[in-house]
A and B are shown apart, each in its own frame.
Chain A
Amino acid sequence: MEIHEHETSKWTVLTIRGDVDLATSPRLRARMEHLLLSQKRSLALDLSGVTHMDSSGIAVLIEGFRWARKVQVPFVLLSPSPQVQMILELGKLEEFFDIRAQLEDENPQGN
C-alpha cells in the first residue's frame, strides 16, 4: 500500500494505492489519527487506486469518521474503487460515509 499526501486550500488529501489489509491498515490508521486528532485537518481519502480492502480497512475508515466527528472536521471518501465499493455495500455503509467523486476546490487533475 502506498500513501501519497497533498494539501489543497481546504483539505489534506491522502491518495491510497494498492491493498489495504490486516498488514497495511495500521499504517493508514496511524496517519489518519495524526491528521485528524493531532492536526484537526479536514481529511479526504482518495480510494480510486485501492485494489483490495478488507474489514480491517473498513474499520479504519469508521474510526476516521468518528475521529473527524470528535474534532468537528469534515471527512470524505473520494471515488472508491470497485473493490472498496463492494465492501462498503456488504457492510451496508454506502450511506454512512460522505462519498464524493471529487473535492469542490480541486479539479479532476488534482491541480
Chain B
Amino acid sequence: MIFRSQATPTCLKTLREKIAGEYKDQLTAMEFDAFCLALCEASSNVIRHAYPADTPGPLEIEIQKDDEALRVWIRDRGKPFEFSCCKGRPLQKVNPGGIGIHIIKAFFDKISSSRSKDGWNTLALERTRRTDNGNP
C-alpha cells in the first residue's frame, strides 16, 4: 500500500481510513490499533517537525506485509532527521509532550532513518510477525 499526501494534520484521518481498509482484517484488533497509533505518531512527527507549519510538503508512506514482518517506509522532503537522536521524555516524568517516540518504539522492532542525495528523508520501520503468544 502506498499513501501520498501533503503533510497536514487532516491527512491523518485519511491515512487511518486507508490502512483500516487494507490491514484491519489481517491483524488482531489490539495489534491493528497499536499499528495505527504508531504509524500516526511517526507521521505526526513529519507534520510537526519536518516542514514549517504554513508550508507543508509531501508525505509518502509505503507499507508491505508478508509472512515474516510488517514493514513501513515514511518519506518526506523536510528538514534532515535522525531518529536515533530522538529519546522522548522519561516516562516517569509526566509532561504534555514526548511520548510519541515511546509509542513508535513499543510497536516496531527495527527503526532506522536515512536521507537521500535528492533530499528525501526515510524512516524505515519493521515489526516482526508475532506468534500466537505475542512473541516475535
Instruction: Spell out A's residues near B (CB within 8 Å).
Output: 19, 21-23, 52, 54-56, 58-60, 62-63, 82-83, 86-87, 90-93, 96
Contacts and interface: CB of A to CB of B under 8 A. Distances in A.
A86 B34 contact: yes
Nearest to A26: B9
Which interface class (under 10, 10 to 19, 20 to 34, 35 or more) fits B? 20 to 34
Interface in B1-59: 8-10, 12-13, 16, 29-30, 33-34, 36-37, 40-41, 44, 47-48
Interface in B81-100: 91-92, 94-97, 99-100
B63 interface: no
Given A22-B12, A86-B33, 6 more contacts: A22-B47, A54-B41, A55-B41, A62-B94, A83-B33, A83-B37
A90 B36 CA distance: 14
Contacts of A92: 91-92
27 contacts: A19-B16, A21-B13, A22-B9, A22-B44, A23-B8, A23-B12, A52-B16, A52-B40, A54-B40, A54-B41, A55-B103, A59-B97, A60-B96, A62-B94, A82-B30, A82-B33, A83-B37, A86-B37, A87-B37, A87-B103, A90-B37, A90-B102, A90-B103, A90-B106, A91-B102, A91-B103, A96-B94
Among all A-B residue pairs, the 5 with the closest Cβ atoms: A23-B9, A59-B96, A22-B9, A55-B100, A91-B99
Interface of B: 8-10, 12-13, 16, 29-30, 33-34, 36-37, 40-41, 44, 47-48, 91-92, 94-97, 99-100, 102-103, 106
A55 B99 contact: yes
A102 B13 CA distance: 29
A90 B44 CA distance: 17
B11 to A, nearest CB: 9
A62 B96 contact: yes
B13 A19 contact: yes
B99 A21 contact: no
Contacts of B48: 22
A55 B97 contact: yes
Contacts of B30: 82, 86
